[in-house]
Amino acid sequence: MSVLENLSAAVQKGRAKEVETLVREALESGLTAQSILDGGLLKGMGLIGERFKNNEVFVPAVLIAARALSKGTELLKSRLLEEGVKPIGSVVLGTVKGDLHDIGKNLVKMMLEGAGFRVIDLGVDVPSERFVEAVREHRPDVLALSALLTTTMGQQEAVIKALTAAGLRDKVKVMVGGAPITQSFCEQIGADAYTSDAASAAETAKTFLTA
């Protein structure tokens, strides 16, 4: 197997130390940071994302793979900057006000980063005003809102209303998700997209870049 194939396999197995070793090896062999990222790290993460989507692996495996992936990207960061690699787009992400659940949000973040987005993660319990400020400041392509409670899902609508009031609604695509969210709720509150899982969220975010 090539070093990139080994790297992809190590990410899928969540072997962080092996990922570090293989990234160093790949750099020493003269491969560019971009090719190591695309052909090794992101390839592995993409494959684990697919398997997660198909219920072949579960949350812990994805989180372990994500940790291994971030070990690799840490090592590549400075080289990527030198090579002038730009993210494909940017996303502001957070769990809405009153809601402390972040496992799903973190998976969405990881899949977005795996797809090449720069993600500005506002964390959990984020009030509408904070989302609005972040959209004004970062001008992201996508605003991604997570909510896990039936008592907090209404906050997604509050964020959309706050964006509209601030004159920013047409400047950003709004994606919503989380266990109680549905397609009809998405349409009802005027969001641009709903996806049921993290891998689909990243795929859908990409479609907004060319739209």
**Which residues here bind ligand B1M, judged by CB under 6 A?**
59, 98-105, 107-108, 144-146, 148-151, 175-180, 195, 197-198, 201
Q: Which is nearer to ligand B1M, 75 or 162 (CB)?
A: 162
Burial class of residue 66 in the structure, from the number of CB atoms within 10 Å of its CB (0-12 exposed, 13-18 middle, 19+ buried): buried
Residue 134 and residue 122 in contact, taking contact as beta carbons nearer than 8 Å = yes
Report the nearest approach of ligand B1M to the CB of residue 125 (Å). Answer: 7
Q: Minimum CB separation from ligand B1M for residue 63, in Å?
A: 9
C-alpha dihedral sign at 204, 107, 18, 51: negative
Nearer to ligand B1M, 18 or 102 (CB): 102
DSSP string computed for 173-201: EEEEESTT--HHHHHHHT-SEE-SSHHHH
Q: Which is nearer to ligand B1M, 7 or 62 (CB)?
A: 62
In the bound complex, what is the minimum distance in angstroms from residue 13's beta carbon to ligand B1M?
A: 20
| 76 versus 175: smaller Cβ distance to ligand B1M | 175
Kindly tell me the burial class for residue 113, based on how many C-beta atoms sit within 10 Å of its own C-beta (0-12, 13-18, 19 or more). Answer: buried
Q: Could you tell me the smallest distance in angstroms from the CB atom of residue 165 to ligand B1M? A: 21
DSSP state of 38: I
Q: How far is the CB of 191 from ligand B1M (least distance, A)?
A: 9
Nearer to ligand B1M, 12 or 146 (CB): 146
How many residues does the structure list for the chain?
A: 211
